[in-house]
Amino acid sequence: MIGDIPIYVNYDSADVWSHPEVFSLDADKKPVNVAGVPPDYFSSTGQLWGHPVYNWDVLKDSKYAWWLRRIEQNLMMFHLFRLDHFRGFVGYWQVKSDEETAINGKWVQAPAEDFFKAVIRKFPDIQIIAEDLGVITPDVKEVMEHFGFPGMKVLLFAFGDDLPTNPYAPHNHVHNCIVYTGTHDNNTIRGWFKKELDQEAKNRVADYIGHDLQEKNIHWDIIRLAMMSVASIVIVPMQDILGLGEKDRMNLPATLQGNWRWRLKHEQLTPAVKKKLAELTEIYGRKQPAD
């Protein structure tokens, strides 16, 4: 079982109420600095998340006790986990709580190496997947490489006009990574193909795969690329295995309604779907030995 640990917690959470000292709060326990990301290609004002950022000096003095307890709790439920917004453990975007956008923030360094050394001392066999999507700076890559944390490769990000050098393209993968066809924030493969690719991009995908594409089979084409990657682990959303369209996507970022409601029905896993998935799993050496 793979879990997921969000980097931040809500201001109105039990964690902030019970451990206000590890968060950036004033004497009245109101947020002083909150989290977000700076302006970028996707948003001219950045993203103002509003979660109180951590007081890393206090956390360090306590030998990261709060974080270690949080990780320990997750390890009671999961074998390994994805650590959300990994770059924030190296350097995070901090914004004053009275700002209305994330424009007037600043980068603040976090004690990444010291923190992860403490994590590994406490949990020597821990396995962490670093959520390293987006613009990742060299210092973040250095921390990942130092501790051997695998990053994420999302195939739906691979087919831009930079395809030959795109780090998400299968020929640029490394063994120590996790390849996803798409994540919970992406469209489904079929929805992506139908709604998000222009003809030029579709031609790139077809040239890369080596044959003409059909909407009804595009999900298996992309799943096959994931399976043949050298990545150590492949993760495919069930919506992609079933070849479902945009209306069945899990989440649409920056929206508050209608997300996380998709549910799998038993009858959707037909013998034909199971057979196809089993064939690809075996062909590319990803079949696990029986217990």
* Residues near 202 by beta carbon (within 8 Å), at least 6 away in sequence: 193, 213
Rounded Cα distance between 262 and 247, Å, is 9
Instruction: State yes or no: is 84 an active-site residue.
Output: yes
Catalytic residue among 131, 132, 221, 240: 131
The answer to whether residue 291 is catalytic is: no
What is the separation of C-alpha 8 from the centre of its chain, rounded to a whole number of angstroms? 14
Are 118 and 99 within 8 A, CB to CB?
no
Q: Which of 15, 99, 113, 185 is catalytic?
A: 185
Alpha carbon of residue 143 to chain centroid: 17
Extract the tokens encoding 193. Answer: 């193909």
* Torsion 89-90-96-101 (CA) sign: negative
Task: Look up 185 and say whether it is catalytic.
Answer: yes
Write down the catalytic residue from 84, 99, 114, 246: 84
Beta bridge partners of residue 233, listed in sequence order: 178
Where does residue 80 rank: exposed (0-12), middle (13-18), buried (19+ CB within 10 A)? middle
Rounded distance, CA 286 to CA 229, Å? 11
Rounded distance, CA 222 to CA 14, Å? Answer: 42
Cα separation, 210 vs 259, whole angstroms: 35
Instruction: Give 55-84 as a DSSP string.
Output: -HHHHHHTTTHHHHHHHHHHHTT-SEEEET
Which amino acids are annotated catalytic? Answer: 84, 131, 185
